[in-house]
Amino acid sequence: ELGRVGDSLDVPVFAVGGFVRDLLMNVPNLDMDVTVEGDGILFAETFAGQYGCRVKSHDKFGTAVIVFPDGFKIDVASTRLEYYVSPGALPTVERSSLKMDLYRRDFTINTLAIRLNESEFGVMLDFFGAQRDLQDHLIRVLHNLSFVEDPTRVFRAIRFEQRLDFTIAKHTENLIKNAVKMDFLEKLGGKRLLTELVYILRENEPLKAIERMASFGLLRFIHPELELTTGTRNMLEEARRIISWFDLLFLNRAYERWAVYFLVLCESLTHDQLWGACTRLAVSEHYREKLFETRRQGEEALATIEKKIARTGAIEKSEVYFLLKDLPVEVLLYLMAKTGSEEVKKWLSLYFTQLQNVRCFVTGHDLKRLQVPPGPLYKDLLDLVLKARLDGRVISREDELELVRH
């Protein structure tokens, strides 16, 4: 259909970039990128009009997003327009070719295009040896200034390398080392750095990529003191195991997996240093405070549990529950990766599998009926009952009511 709309407007239309890359590699990709040799916005609007979609367009860049009723999206770009002004004449607009447009991209493997117009439907254009690099499993830039033009590509190279199980080509690797040495990354805005870091930490297996970042000396751009020590490495491995365990157990539980890895990665930083890293990464004030407060609280809770178990060999379920109940999943998983004690790890997993779901029978209504005066006593009584239930001191609703009356 995209091709037919292109034909009706008499413009060449191509599927390009990651979509084609993933198509050749047989990997599902739900983002489709389309490039139009002509007015991409007009194309998007025409298509959307015919197929009942919405369009969001950016006039300045000649780009648009077609949004289908089910949420599927197609990004539409126009090959860039170039203006030539000759003295005394009207400015003339010339269309730069698809090839020039693809040349501006990050890596060869992202430069494939497939023609969608009906006349040449399915014809693949490979200007820069993308198919060869896909076969050889190589991440390669198109020209020497690629990382200077856009330093985020350093992180993209590492992300693709890890995700596709490819290797960064030798010359490209040297260009990355050079970009690091010349401090191009210093100029990268915090937000963009954070976005790239989050993308890497969201990948299924981010460890290899973290290792690669460390070996290129990229961690210091997050914080000058940040290093990948053996301790951090082991903890990251542990975090990966814990995350698989958790995902298997709680299939639909939404949480920010990247934040677990981030906390583990920054485990060796002091609170002040972590604050510095968050400032460098332009983490929003609100999120930064939350991250801080919960990390501090979590570490305190962990120390309490560890100490108690080391000293007495036991701890009450209710104590574990009340220490952990206000902590977000991300921090709890971080603590599981952090603790060196198998016993403590068992307690943390018991919290997830059991303790957090324990509820008592008695409710606020019961307390009202028992004529408990409104106020903080409600919460105290309900906590008292919950504590008794967690520790197995009450079984039935009657036991609970008895406890309240008492």
Instruction: Write out the residues near ligand CTP by the rule CB under 6 A.
Output: 17-18, 29, 31, 33, 105-106, 110, 150, 152-153, 156
The CB density around residue 271, as the number of other CB atoms within 10 Å, is 11
Q: How far is the CB of 389 from ligand CTP (least distance, A)?
A: 47
Closest approach, Cβ 29 to ligand CTP, in A, equals 6
For the sheet containing 31-36, what is the strand order? Answer: 54-58, 63-67, 73-78, 31-36, 13-16, 113-115, 124-125
Q: How far is the CB of 309 from ligand CTP (least distance, A)?
A: 43
Nearer to ligand CTP, 189 or 224 (CB): 189
Tell me the closest approach of the beta carbon of residue 74 to ligand CTP, in angstroms. 12
- Closer by beta carbon to ligand CTP, 197 or else 382: 197
Smallest separation, CB 240 to ligand CTP (Å): 20
Residues 6+ apart with CB under 8 A from 116: 2, 3, 6, 13, 14, 15, 34
Q: Between the CA of residue 202 and those of 10, 133, 382, what are the distances in Å?
A: 41, 25, 39
Q: Give the single-character DSSP code of 316.
A: -
What is the rounded CA–CA span in Å between residue 135 and residue 157? 17
Report the residue closest to ligand CTP, judged by CB. 18
The tokens of 79 are what?
A: 């090959």
CB of 292 to ligand CTP, least distance (A): 30
Among 72, 38, 43, CA closest to 57: 43
**Nearest CA-CA partner of 114 in 34, 233, 229, 173:** 34
Of residues 103 and 245, the one with the C-beta less far from ligand CTP: 103
Instruction: Compare residues 152 and 297 and give the one whose CB is closer to ligand CTP.
Output: 152
CB of 197 to ligand CTP, least distance (A): 14
| Least distance (Å) between residue 199 CB and ligand CTP | 7
- Under the phi-then-psi rule, with left for phi > 0, alpha for psi from -120 to 50, and beta for the rest, what region is 137? left
End-to-end CA distance of the chain: 74
Contact 378, 364 (CB under 8 A): yes
Closer CB to ligand CTP, residue 108 or residue 318?
108
In the bound state with ligand CTP, the residue whose beta carbon lies nearer, of 150 and 399, is 150
C-alpha to C-alpha distance for 265 and 276, rounded to whole angstroms: 14
Q: Which is nearer to ligand CTP, 141 or 360 (CB)?
A: 141
CA distances to 15, 56, 74, 113 from 67, in Å: 16, 8, 7, 22
- C-beta closer to ligand CTP: residue 110 or 172: 110
